[in-house]
Amino acid sequence: MLKCVGAFLIVSLLTPLALAKERYQQPGPIHLDRDRQKWAEKTLHKLSSEEKVGQLFMIWVRVQFWNTENPDYLQLRDNIHKYHIGSLAMSVPVDGPFLLRNQPFEAAELLNRLQKESKLPLIFAADFERGVSMRLYGTTIFPHPMAFGAAGKPEYAEDFGRITAQEARAIGVHWNFFPVADVNSNPANPIINTRSFGEDPEQVGDLLAAYIRGAHAGGMLTTAKHFPGHGDTDTDSHLGVARVNGDVAHLQTVELPPFKKAIEGGVDSVMVAHVTVPALEPDPNRVATTSPAVVTDLLKKQLGFKGLVVTDALDMAGLTRLYGANIGRAAVEAFKAGNDLLLIPFDLDASYRSMLEAVRSGEISSARLDESVLKILEAKASLGLHKAHLIDLNKVPMEIGKPSNLALGQQIADDAVTMVRDNGKLLPLKIRGTAKTGLPYQSVEEVRNRVVVVIFSDDVRTESGRMLEREIRSRAPDANVLYVDPRIAAGMTDSVLAAVDQAEAVIAPVYLIPTAGKAIKEQVGVKNSVALADSTGTLLQEILEHAAGKTVVLAMGNPYLAQDFLAIQNYLCAYSNATVSELSVVKALFGEIAIRGHLPVSIPNVAQRGSGIERQPLVAHGGSQDAQSKTSGR
């Protein structure tokens, strides 16, 4: 009896110690040594055909709090088990135009829980094109990639990769579907636009390489997308089949150089686009994703890429329209073309069964299957997931949202602001006092029309303009701030123009950002666009007709906006709707920061790439304020 009691006491004392020694992921430089390679090879040989096919698929996990008995959680858990899923793409729920971002702890806890559910360690990936803040609150906020092109400093891109890796790994995400290697050479491109670093292949390549260096230092896998280039298109491949019309010479000089630079820089994966490229694949029923000529011959053989080849999401209309009668074949054809990982199938069951049938029939050889599965297992081993696949929740508040990182995100947004036009009569605006303090719920501020702000967005219910409004009101408390969208613009025209006529200064921030699958009805079908809708475009034109000289237009996204409104006399580009960009552009309006950004793209009939009016911050001259400016290009 005494022996039993003693044994119980020993176990009781050791249990906390054992728990304290729980092995957690230790993010660090990605590498594949012999030990890790042996794990991948040994694991591969233990897997059945069913398990191997499952490792090829990546499905969604939209992070939120889920009870362990929640039906949605149980469905996801069962899919991981039933289909032997190898990886998941982390996002958040979406409700119409609203992205329902969540908190870091909720994400980290759920990803940990799913890791425990899986037989093999899972890779979690995400679209962190603007950092982890795209999906989660409390993280470092960065402007859109085109802002990095405007700031023109590769070290910013390297910091961007490093900080994103640090925060992503802290919540259990290992792989970023970034950087975007597309060269945005088409102003009408509705889906790339500010997601690209710019229109110059050399600059895009340099920023790609810098980002990859930073991400690797933080232990995060990277992805160059969308091969062989989605920048010179005018169709959103989420809605239809986009076409790249350049000949081989154009592809070799514009589209492909950034991908070559990324491959030289050690990019871990390349994502293939659902675009038709007649110069490379003459079959109109094959997009790049399902084309052996594009994936195997060009990417793997000619460019020598040895890493993971990933499809763009298989549920996009650019692909599904071609396989409506047999949706599972999309996965098979993509794999046969040379892709290794099959991303977000439209119908998981049909895609899995089609792949398994192709393996069993010999259409897909066992050697070809093993080749891709081994790559995926090697990626897991290179991250150290074979040793430890959980993350330490106690470290989340130490790694997320560090003040130094937040400050750097703001500095990058500041340096990106670009002054394209200035009539010399309006800017910088004068600060008109500070907001009055008062008791909660009892502060009433009189609104006047000296400063009128008309905020244009797709939907007034979104966050667009909220930070900008707060920052303007902190400098001009009586500013009249009006929100308009396509549904209400026509009805507000008279009141807006009446305020504009009375104003000393008019600020017109325009929020146009590339949005996947944004459907605009036309006479024939639907399309996507980053141009202002007819009603809001008409209102902006009328504002300019009434008051162009005292109006400054702010491009809070699409910088090409000015080509449709040549009457603009004062034009600033922030390239981004991120809150850091909203703060930056307000500081620029009031002369609080130097304006030093340069256009990374050309705006037809307005300005060439490299253009930018530089301006020093306000300096005191005998009690008055003045600013110094110069026009330059680079």
Q: What is the pLDDT of residue 237?
A: 59
Q: What is the pLDDT of residue 13?
A: 42
Give tens-digit pLDDT for 348-361.
999 999 999 999 99
Q: What is the pLDDT of residue 22?
A: 65
Instruction: Compute CA distances 176 → 130, 139, 222, whole Å.
Output: 11, 15, 5
**4 lies in some domain:** no
* Cβ atoms of residues 469 and 581 within 8 Å: no
**311 lies in some domain:** yes
End-to-end CA distance of the chain: 85
Q: What is the pLDDT of residue 340?
A: 98
Q: What is the pLDDT of residue 17?
A: 37
364 and 421 both lie in a single domain: no
181 and 251 both lie in a single domain: yes
DSSP string across 121-134? PPEEEE--BTBGGG
Residues 491-503 have a mean pLDDT of: 97
127, 312, 414, 422: which is the annotated catalytic residue?
312
**Confidence class of residue 440 from pLDDT cuts 50, 70 and 90?**
low
DSSP string across 559-572? GGGGGG-TT-SEEE
Residues 134-160 have a mean pLDDT of: 98
Residues 242-260 have a mean pLDDT of: 94
Supply the CATH number for residue 597's domain.
3.40.50.1700
Question: What does the CA dihedral 296, 302, 305, 310 come to, rounded to 10 degrees?
Answer: -30
Q: What is the pLDDT of residue 1?
A: 44
Average pLDDT, the chain: 91
Residues 369-394 have a mean pLDDT of: 97
Among 19-33, 316-330, 453-467, which range has the highest average pLDDT? 453-467
Q: E strands within 111-178?
A: 123-126, 175-176
**192 lies in some domain:** yes
**586 lies in some domain:** yes
Give tens-digit pLDDT for 415-436.
999 999 999 999 999 987 555 5
465 and 591 both lie in a single domain: yes
- Is the pLDDT at 249 greater than 60? The verdict is yes
Supply the CATH number for residue 87's domain.
3.20.20.300
Angle between helices 34-46 and 366-382 (to 10 degrees): 140
- Is the pLDDT at 525 greater than 80? The verdict is no
- Is the pLDDT at 563 greater than 70? The verdict is yes
429 and 547 both lie in a single domain: yes
DSSP string across 477-518? TT-EEEEE-TTTHHHHHHHHHHHHHH-SEEEEEE-----TT-
Q: Which residues contact 232 (CB under 8 A, 6 or more apart)?
A: 183, 185, 186, 189, 244, 245, 246, 250, 254, 255
507 and 378 both lie in a single domain: no
Q: What is the pLDDT of residue 190?
A: 81
Q: Could you tell me the two tokens for 356?
A: 């398994």
- The domain total for the chain is 2
Q: Which domain holds residue 220?
A: 22-405
294 and 169 both lie in a single domain: yes
**2 lies in some domain:** no
Q: Amino acid identity, residue 65? A: F
Which residue's entry shows tokens 């019309």?
245
Residues 531-538 have a mean pLDDT of: 92
**Confidence class of residue 14 from pLDDT cuts 50, 70 and 90?**
very low
- Is the pLDDT at 567 greater than 90? The verdict is yes
- Is the pLDDT at 298 greater than 50? The verdict is yes
204 and 62 both lie in a single domain: yes
Respond yes or no: is residue 226 known to be catalytic: no
Percent of the chain with pLDDT strictly greater than 70: 88
* Cβ atoms of residues 613 and 629 within 8 Å: yes
530 and 386 both lie in a single domain: no
586 and 468 both lie in a single domain: yes
3-state secondary structure of 164: helix
604 and 537 both lie in a single domain: yes
Residues 256-263 have a mean pLDDT of: 98
Q: Which residues contact 402 (CB under 8 A, 6 or more apart)?
A: 140
DSSP-derived secondary structure letter, 20 = H
Long-range contacts of 152-156 (CB under 8 A, 24+ apart): 152/203, 152/597, 152/598, 152/600, 152/634, 153/415, 154/206, 154/207, 154/209, 154/210, 155/210, 156/412, 156/415
Residues 23-49 have a mean pLDDT of: 94
Give tens-digit pLDDT for 585-626.
999 999 999 999 999 999 999 999 999 999 999 864 333 445
Cα gap 272→334, rounded to integer Å: 10
Report the run of H or E that residue 621 belongs to, with start and end.
strand 619-621
- Is the pLDDT at 168 greater than 60? The verdict is yes
Residues 375-384 have a mean pLDDT of: 97
**8 lies in some domain:** no
**Confidence class of residue 232 from pLDDT cuts 50, 70 and 90?**
confident
3-state secondary structure of 441: coil
Q: What is the pLDDT of residue 18?
A: 39
Q: Amino acid identity, residue 533? A: A
Which is nearest to 275 in space by CA: 338, 333, 318? 318
Cα gap 255→231, rounded to integer Å: 8
**Confidence class of residue 284 from pLDDT cuts 50, 70 and 90?**
confident
Give tens-digit pLDDT for 302-356.
999 999 999 999 999 888 888 988 999 999 999 999 999 999 999 999 999 999 9
**9 lies in some domain:** no
238, 274, 386, 389: which is the annotated catalytic residue?
238
Respond yes or no: is residue 312 known to be catalytic: yes
397 and 467 both lie in a single domain: no
**223 lies in some domain:** yes
Cα gap 586→611, rounded to integer Å: 21
- Is the pLDDT at 447 greater than 70? The verdict is yes
468 and 540 both lie in a single domain: yes
